[in-house]
Structure 1
Amino acid sequence: MKADGPPYRVLIVEDDFRIARINQAMVEQHGAFVVVGSCRDGRETLEWLQRHPHGADLALFDVYLPDVEGLSLLWEARRCCRSLDIVMVTAAREVDTVEEALRAGVFDFLIKPVQAVRMQAMLDRYVQRRNMRRKGREINQEQLDEALSSAIPESRVRTLPKGVDALSLDTFIQALTQAHEPLTASELAERAGTSRSTARRYLEYLVGTGQAVVAPAYGEVGRPQRLYQLRPNV
């Protein structure tokens, strides 16, 4: 998905330079984003934001920084840069932390290690929302409903069976979409960064709900393989 205008500017806040480089590569792989800064602690981040109050559209924040307690940096950034969108990219899994981040209005919350497919899905959704904001000064109810919706359609969340997680399901759907060709469960597992059994469970769910189709194919040794692909317009 392309930006309707200049690329969106991203600030990365991460104390591990290796992870910062990985995140930067994933962000700039999208094409609609450019990384304009990288900070390794809270002090450096606040100084950057004070020098460039309108210098970034989106920031990727880690929770565990050497000079930051909890989500204090998130709240400080909210106070000094109200137009900045923030995504948490962190190993923090505590429910209280997630709930506080959501109350602070983060755009998304990604748990490390972040799979590239999940990152791209978040970036696609961000472009979709920001493109809508760039198009005009007014918005209708349908556009507003779309902008306020989560990454997963509500109808899909309500009907998910035990063992099928909404965010993971979206990751598998994105992987199938980006493949542009049928995949085996093993191939999908590799792309999504999960086990083959997990990929098979989600694939069978997609087939069972009519969102995907399966067809047999024969490999080199003549054993049939199941190939999966999304139905058109899913």
Structure 2
Amino acid sequence: MINVLVVDDDTRVARVNAAYVERVPGFRVAGQAHSATEALHRMESLPRPDLVLLDHHLPDETGLAVVQEMRRRGLQIDVIMVTAARDLATVREALRQGVLQYLVKPFSFAGLRDKLESYAAVRRTLDRGGTAEQADVDLIFGTLASATTPDLPTGHSPRTAGLVRRALLDAEGSLSAQEVAEETGLSRQTAQRYLKLLERTGQARLTLRYGDAGRPEHRYARTARD
């Protein structure tokens, strides 16, 4: 279970974001904070959160200042910025400071769910240890997804698309949405949505498997060009 600290100066927004987090399997809310000072205090309290959803506009400091102070104190906690700050200077600085994801307000539950599921999948890959192929490294940093899945529809994450595509590339045969979900750690609904996207864009091939009774099973495989 991944423990999440939700930080937002607006208590109503914090409650909504916390409710979204609780709807994503594998995540739970460890607490809420509404200022930089409170956020840092909660990060140092036991048990410490694994992930912080961090607003940038806080009453006593900026979110990026919080990240700087976290690093100064040696707090190795992952950060996803959840903010209305759209200026590229803030985005660039977030990238430089090691922020893993950047979600611009307003957003839907599906938008946050995709970020969290992508984070969980990458975390599992890193926690496995061992060695990585270049494709695995590219996927972790998001470059593979961006390069192979251009012009994604609104609400779709390049990193999540990359995770699903990687599952197809690694498979010896075709996979169902449930099998992709188990391989990537995504929900079955999310896996199905991205499989359909990859099929529409020519990066996956759909076949039907007919059983003894009931509806045929949809199965997906990498395309011949892969």
TM-score (norm 2): 0.67
1:178 matched to 2:189: yes
How many Å apart are 1:153 and its aligned residue? 3.5
Q: Please list, as runs of the form range in 1=range in 2, the aligned pairs for 1:1-234 lying within 5 A after superposition.
A: 7-52=1-46, 55-69=48-62, 71-136=64-129, 138-141=130-133, 142-150=135-143, 152-157=145-150, 160=151, 166=152, 168=154, 170=156, 178=189, 207=200, 209-210=201-202, 232-233=220-221
TM-score (norm 1): 0.65
Contact 1:212 1:231 in 2 (8 A): no
Please identify, of 76-85 and 94-103, the stretch whose mean Cα deviation from structure 2 is larger. Answer: 76-85
Query: Where do 5+ consecutive residues of structure 2 fail to align?
Result: 162-187, 206-217
Q: Match for residue 187 of structure 1? A: none
**Could you tell me which amino acid in structure 1 is paired with residue 131 of structure 2?**
I
C-alpha RMSD of the superposition: 3.3
Name the CA shift for 1:127/1:16 in 2 (closer, same or farther; >3 Å). Answer: same
How many Å apart are 1:78 and its aligned residue? 2.4
1:57-108: CA deviation from partner (whole Å, max 9, x where unpaired)? 1000000111114621121122224421000000111110011001111110
Contact 1:62 1:89 in 2 (8 A): yes
**Aligned mates of 2:80, 2:143 — CA distance in 1:** 14
Name the CA shift for 1:139/1:179 in 2 (closer, same or farther; >3 Å). Answer: closer
**Aligned mates of 2:101, 2:121 — CA distance in 1:** 14
**Could you tell me which amino acid in structure 2 is paired with residue 90 of structure 1?**
T
1:2-35: CA deviation from partner (whole Å, max 9, x where unpaired)? xxxxx00101111111111111111111111111
Contact 2:111 2:155 in 1 (8 A): no
Contact 2:36 2:63 in 1 (8 A): no
**Fraction of identical pairs, as percent:** 33
Aligned length: 179
Query: Where do 5+ consecutive residues of structure 1 fail to align?
Result: 1-6, 161-165, 183-202, 214-229
- What secondary structure, in the 3-state scheme, does the structure 1 residue paired with 2:4 have? strand
Name the CA shift for 1:82/1:48 in 2 (closer, same or farther; >3 Å). Answer: closer
Q: Structure 1 residue runs of 4+, over 4 Å off?
A: 171-174, 179-182
